[in-house]
Amino acid sequence: MERTLVLIKPEGVQRHLVGKIIQRFEDASLKIIGMKQVWADKEFAKKHYTEDIAERRGEKVREMLLDYITEGPVIAICLEGVDAIENVRKIVGGTEPRNSPPGTIRGDFAHVSFAYADKNNLPVKNLIHASSDETDAKREVALWFSEKELHSYKSIQDLFM
Ligand code: CDP
Ligand code: MG
């Protein structure tokens, strides 16, 4: 069993896509073990999008991303399941909506390219964040949720695992 963090970014909340997005995780039998709405400030957002982003994508991308993620409240969700990290990334799609196939969240609800975003000094608006590996998932779940906010319970899916 793994736990992973999902953030429906402010864009997803403002476009009223929360229900549709959560439905996809429930449909795949992933269990919601924590969920809340949070309006993060820049300081908090920097703990989520650490220096690692600047190293991988550049300082400018990190700055734009910090604005994008703090422009309104997000929905933070902790999901649990078998290989949850990889499975959630599969449902979410790739970083670039243009290359995310239909059926993925980023492919179905967005379409922009890296090239378009970079040319127009915009972040890649891809609606949703999902932890990328075990190390990030542990760190991110602990950042957004206290242990008290995470729940252990039986759900119908436990019968069909
Ligand atoms: O979110 P994901 O793990 O797929 O990608 P990442 O490499 O961890 O980058 C984090 C976020 O930075 C992406 O989800 C995009 O929103 C944003 N990004 C961007 O604005 N411009 C880029 N050229 C690359 C990423
Ligand atoms: Mg990432």
In short, whether 128's Cβ falls inside 6 Å of ligand 1 is no
Q: What is the pLDDT of residue 157?
A: 86
Q: What is the pLDDT of residue 161?
A: 81
Kindly state whether residue 104 falls inside one of the protein's structural domains.
yes
Kindly state whether residue 161 falls inside one of the protein's structural domains.
no
Nearest atom in ligand 1 to 132's CA: 3
Q: Is 129 a catalytic residue?
A: yes
Q: What is the pLDDT of residue 16?
A: 98
Tell me how far apart the alpha carbons of residues 88 and 86 are, in angstroms, rounded to a whole number.
6
For the chain, what is the domain count? 1
Q: What is the CATH number of the domain that holds 111?
A: 3.30.70.141
Kindly state whether residue 76 falls inside one of the protein's structural domains.
yes
Ranges in the chain, pLDDT < 70: none
The string of DSSP codes covering 62-116 is HHHHHHHHHSS-EEEEEEEETTHHHHHHHHH--SSGGGSPTTSHHHHH----HHH
Catalytic residue among 16, 48, 111, 129: 129
Q: How far is the CA of 50 from the centre of ligand 2 (A)?
A: 10
Atom 10, ligand 1: residue with shortest CA distance: 53
Question: Residue 60: how many CB atoms within 10 A of its CB?
Answer: 12
Kindly state whether residue 113 falls inside one of the protein's structural domains.
yes
From 9, 61, 67, 100, mutation site for ligand 1 pocket: most ligand atoms within 8 A of C-beta:
61
From 4, 124, 140, mutation site for ligand 1 pocket: most ligand atoms within 8 A of C-beta:
124
Check: CB of residue 97 under 8 Å from CB of residue 124.
yes
Q: Name which of 87, 90, 112 is nearest 99 in CA terms.
A: 112
Kindly state whether residue 33 falls inside one of the protein's structural domains.
yes
Kindly state whether residue 52 falls inside one of the protein's structural domains.
yes
Domain that holds residue 75: 2-148
Kindly state whether residue 156 falls inside one of the protein's structural domains.
no
Going by DSSP bridges, is the β-strand pair 31-38/74-81 parallel, antiparallel, or unpaired?
A: antiparallel
Kindly state whether residue 155 falls inside one of the protein's structural domains.
no
Q: What is the pLDDT of residue 85?
A: 98
Q: How far is the CA of 60 from the centre of ligand 2 (A)?
A: 16
